[in-house]
Amino acid sequence: MGHTDSDSDYSSSDESINYVRPLFLHKRATDASNETEQVGTQGAIESPGLGRPTFTTKRFDFSNTQQVRFKEPAAVPCASQPQSGDPVTANLRAYGDVNGYQFLIPEEAYERISRTSEREPNVAPSIQIPNAPRPGRPSGHRRAMREYWFGDRDLRIPVPTLPPLVDASRECVTADRVRAFLTESSSLLQIPFQQLLKQQRIRWHPDRMQRLCSSRGIVPRDESLITLVSQIINELWRENQSSQM
């Protein structure tokens, strides 16, 4: 039989046909990524300036250290003269113990107290009250004054006659007499009147004085005397404050 035109479309078995081996999609993607990495690595090697910058660190050598020595501050001399307007306390001495309080007096008065105590070794240190009694004063006034300010047994009313609290009467307690006693004490003790008045306000507070009487075993005949003395001292305090305004 002869060949027809349709037979020319087929090749004979003697002819060889070149086939292309198929590639899977995931292998093609893997090969592409590997090529990209190789290109990037080569670029980094060829261009080192485009890569991550490197830093050089240096460790501190602790064996080569120096000791630092600070200069000592210069001594500042103390001011010998007080500033204007400041209270002067350089020549004041503390003495006495009245219900836990002490007074500040000039050094000259303190020396007189010391000389008095040396002449009278059996008597507690006190102010130097004149030996000669003033006109109209009983002979025991000096002893009564010392007992009022420095005594620890008896309690007396702060008036010039200094009657004991145990048997004192209300008639002897007036504002003028209390003022006169504190004025005299301020002159003898060389302590400002206002400072004595402040100390007496604390001492003659009714509750405080009641406790003081109980501690010394004193029972006043008229307990209202304590309140009366406290009221008078408070009035004198207010008058003194208003006069200074």
The predicted structure's pLDDT at residue 196: 92
Whether the pTM exceeds 0.85: the reply is no
Q: What is the DSSP letter of 48?
A: G
What pairs with residue 40 in β-bridges? none
On average, the pLDDT of the chain sits at 72
Q: Look at the chain and report how many structural domains it folds into.
A: 1
Q: Please report whether residue 64 resides in a domain.
A: no
Mean pLDDT of 183-209: 92
Q: Is the pLDDT of residue 46 over 80?
A: no
User: Does any domain span residue 74?
Assistant: no
User: Is it the case that residue 207 has pLDDT exceeding 80?
Assistant: yes
Closest CA to 126 of 101, 167, 95: 95
Domain of residue 152: give its range: 140-244
Neighbours of 217 (CB within 10 A): 7
Contacts (Cβ under 8 Å, ≥6 apart) of 35: none
Mean pLDDT over residues 60-81, rounded?
63
Q: Is residue 130 part of a domain?
A: no
Q: How far is CA 243 from the centre of its chain?
A: 34
* Residue 81 included in any domain: no
**pLDDT tens-digit series, residues 104-125:** 777 777 676 665 444 443 433 3
Instruction: Flag whether 5 is in a domain.
Output: no
Residue 215 dihedral angles phi and psi, to the nearest 5°: -70, -25
Rounded Cα distance between 25 and 160, Å, is 127
Percent of the chain topping pLDDT 70: 47
Residue at 221 is within a domain:
yes
In terms of pLDDT, which residue wins out, 77 or 147? 147
Mean pLDDT of 173-192: 92
Distances 95 to 117, 119, 153 between C-alpha atoms, Å: 12, 18, 19
Residue 119 lies in a domain: no
Question: What confidence tier does 22 reach under pLDDT thresholds 50, 70, 90?
Answer: low
For the record, the structure tokens of 151 come out as: 């005594």
3-state secondary structure at position 93: strand
Say whether pLDDT at 181 is over 50: yes
Place of tokens 């490197």: 54
The answer to the question of residue 232 being in a domain is yes
